[in-house]
C-alpha cells in the first residue's frame, strides 16, 4: 500500500496554503513516481460548523491510523465567542494529546535570499539551519497542583514544573535521533542551577546519551545563556533540546532570526508506530490569518516546508525533502515574493497560487 496522509486543512488560510501542498503531492506522484494515499477531513471551526465539535471521533480515529497528518490552521473571529470546550483550538489540542505528540520540532532556517529580513545582521543568520526540539506534553503547562488558591488573606497562583525520567528520556532520544540525520550535535538547555527538574533533565539527557548515543556530540547550557547565544551566534547550534516552557520561548525567538511567519514549518512527533516511524503531525507555525484569508495573499511556503518535513521524518524520503527545500530556495533567490516577504522597497507580490506554481516549476527544473 502507498504511505497514507490525512489532510486537515482547517480554517482561514489553511485550505488556501494546503491547496499548494496538494500540488506538490501530485507532482511527487506524476514526476517522481512517489504516490501517497491522501484523505481529507475537517478540523477546527469548519468541523464545528458541520458537526458541532472541532474534531469528531471518526476524524480522530483516522488521524491515529495514517502515517502522517498534515494540518493547515484552525480558528477565526467567527468562533471567538464559542465555549472553550468546542473552540477550534480544542481540535488541535485533542490531536496532539491523543496522538501523544511529545516532541515538537521547530526548524529555524534562513534562506540566503531572505537574510536581510532578519532582525539580526546578515552574516549572523545567512545559511542558518537549526532545529529546536521542544517537549510538548508535560512540564509546567500541565503539572499538578495548578490553580489560583486562597492563602491567608491573599490569592496565590500556582503552576508546577514536573518531569518524570521517562518523559525526559523519550524527548532526548528523539533529539539524538534527529541529530544523527543532521550534523550529530545536540545542545540541551535547562536551568539546573536553580531548578530540581533541571538537574534531573541534565542527568537523564546525559544518561540517554552515554548509553545509546555516545557518537552524538552533547553539550549542556543554561536556558537563559542559551537565549543569549541564540541571538549572538545561532550557527554554533544544530539541534537544541529543551522543555515545554523554555522551548516555547526559545523557538519563538529563533523563528524571528529568520524572517516571516509565512516561512516556518513544524513537526510534532510521538512514539514509533508498528512501521518504526513516529506518529506525526506536520503544520505551519502560523495561524489562520483571518486578516488576509480569502484574498490569495497567504504565503504557502510554511505549509509546503511542513510537507517536506513529512517526507523526511515520516516517509524516509530525505532526498525528496531536500528537493522541495531547494525548489523553495530557488524561487526565493529568483525574487518571487508573496506580500509578507516584501521589504519596504516594495514590488509586485505574487498570489498564493502563483507561489505554488513557481515552486512546481523549480521542481520541474530540479
Ligand atoms: P496568525 O499566524 O494567523 O497571523 C499573524 C499575522 O501573520 C497576520 O497578520 C497574518 O496575516 C500573518 N500571516 C500568518 N500566516 C501567514 C502566511 N502564511 N502568509 C502571509 N501572512 C501570514 O496569528 P493570529 O492573527 O494571532 O491568529 C489568527 C487565528 O489563528 C486565531 O483564531 C488563532 O487562534 C489562530 N491560530 C491558530 C494556530 C494553529 O492553527 N496552529 C496557531 C496560531 C493562531
Ligand atoms: Mg508560542
Superfamily of domain 1-120+258-366 in CATH is Isopropylmalate Dehydrogenase (3.40.718.10)
pLDDT value at residue 265: 96
Look up the CATH superfamily of 129-256. Isopropylmalate Dehydrogenase (3.40.718.10)
Q: State the distance from the centre of ligand 2 to the C-alpha of 29, rounded, in angstroms.
A: 35
Distance separating alpha carbons of residues 13 and 304, to the nearest angstrom? 13
Summary mean pLDDT of the chain: 95
Residue 286 in contact with residue 74, Cβ under 8 Å? no
How many angstroms is it from 85 CA to the middle of ligand 2? 21
What number does the ligand 1 atom closest to the CA of 71 have? Answer: 40
For the cut 80, the answer to whether the pLDDT of residue 343 exceeds it is no
Q: Say if CB 353 and CB 17 are below 8 A apart.
A: no
* DSSP letters spanning 283-317: EESS---TTTTTTT----HHHHHHHHHHHHHTS--
- Residue among 116, 147, 111 nearest 127 (CA): 111
Q: Assess contact for 126 and 230: CB atoms under 8 A.
A: no
Q: What is the ipTM of this complex?
A: 0.98
Site to substitute for ligand 1 among 106, 286, 294, 351, most atoms within 8 A of C-beta: 286
pLDDT one-digit tens code per residue, 162-204: 999 999 999 999 999 999 999 999 999 999 999 999 999 999 9
pTM: 0.94
Return residue ranges of the chain for CATH 3.40.718.10: 1-120+258-366, 129-256
Contact 160, 146 (CB under 8 A): yes
Partners of 155 in the β-ladder: 150
Is ligand 1 within 6 A of the CB of residue 355? Answer: no
Ligand 1 touching residue 224 (CB < 6 A): no
Q: Are 106 and 251 in contact (CB under 8 A)?
A: yes
Q: How many CB atoms lie within 10 A of CB 55?
A: 26
| Residue recorded with cell 518571487 | 336
* Count of CB atoms situated within 10 Å of the CB of 22: 17
- Distance (angstroms) between ligand 2 centre and the Cα of 336 equals 29
Give per-residue pLDDT as tens, 195-241. Answer: 999 999 999 999 999 999 999 999 999 999 999 999 999 999 999 99
Q: Which atom of ligand 1 is nearest to the CA of 339?
A: 20
Task: State the ligand closest to the CA atom of 260.
Answer: 1
**Residue 285, number of CB atoms within 10 A of its CB:** 18
Provide CB contacts within 8 A for 152, sequence distance 6+.
none
Q: Output the residue whose Cα is nearest ligand 1's atom 8.
A: 289
Amino acid at each position: 500500500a502507498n504511505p497514507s496522509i490525512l489532510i486537515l486543512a482547517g480554517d482561514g488560510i489553511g485550505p488556501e496554503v494546503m491547496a499548494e501542498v496538494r500540488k506538490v503531492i501530485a507532482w511527487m506522484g506524476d514526476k517522481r513516481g512517489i504516490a501517497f494515499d491522501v484523505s481529507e477531513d475537517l478540523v477546527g471551526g469548519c468541523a464545528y460548523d458541520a458537526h458541532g465539535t472541532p474534531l469528531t471521533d471518526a476524524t480522530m480515529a483516522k488521524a491515529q491510523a495514517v502515517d502522517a497528518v498534515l494540518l493547515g490552521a484552525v480558528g477565526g473571529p467567527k468562533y471567538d465567542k464559542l465555549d472553550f470546550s468546542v473552540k477550534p483550538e480544542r481540535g488541535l489540542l485533542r490531536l496532539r494529546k491523543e496522538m501523544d505528540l511529545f516532541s515538537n520540532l521547530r526548524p529555524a532556517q534562513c534562506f540566503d535570499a531572505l537574510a536581510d529580513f532578519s532582525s539580526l545582521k546578515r552574516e549572523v543568520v545567512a545559511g542558518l539551519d537549526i532545529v529546536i526540539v521542544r517537549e510538548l506534553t508535560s512540564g509546567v503547562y500541565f503539572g499538578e497542583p495548578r490553580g489560583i488558591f486562597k492563602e491567608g488573606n491573599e490569592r496565590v497562583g500556582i503552576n508546577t514544573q514536573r518531569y518524570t525520567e521517562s518523559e525526559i528520556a523519550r524527548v532526548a532520544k528523539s533529539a539524538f535521533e534527529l541529530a544523527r540525520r543532521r550534523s550529530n550535535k545536540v545542545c540541551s538547555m535547562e536551568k539546573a542551577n536553580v531548578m530540581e527538574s533541571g538537574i534531573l533533565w541534565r542527568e537523564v539527557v546525559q544518561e540517554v546519551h552515554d548509553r545509546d548515543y555516545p557518537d552524538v556530540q552533547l553539550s549542556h547550557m543554561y536556558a537563559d545563556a542559551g537565549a543569549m547565544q541564540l541571538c549572538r551566534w545561532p550557527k554554533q547550534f544544530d539541534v537544541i533540546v529543551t522543555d515545554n516552557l523554555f522551548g516555547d520561548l526559545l523557538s519563538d525567538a529563533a523563528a524571528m532570526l529568520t524572517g516571516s511567519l509565512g516561512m516556518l514549518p513544524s513537526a510534532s512527533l510521538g512514539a514509533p508506530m508498528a512501521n518504526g516511524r513516529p506518529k506525526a503531525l506536520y503544520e505551519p507555525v502560523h495561524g489562520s490569518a483571518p486578516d488576509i484569508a480569502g484574498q490569495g495573499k497567504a504565503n504557502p511556503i510554511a505549509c509546503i516546508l511542513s510537507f517536506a518535513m513529512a517526507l523526511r521524518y515520516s516517509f524516509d524520503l530525505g532526498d525528496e525533502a531536500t528537493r522541495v527545500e531547494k525548489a523553495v530556495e530557488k524561487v526565493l533567490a529568483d525574487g518571487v515574493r508573496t506580500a509578507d516577504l516584501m521589504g519596504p522597497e516594495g514590488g509586485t507580490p505574487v498570489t498564493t497560487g502563483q507561489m505554488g506554481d513557481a515552486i512546481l516549476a523549480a521542481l520541474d527544473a530540479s
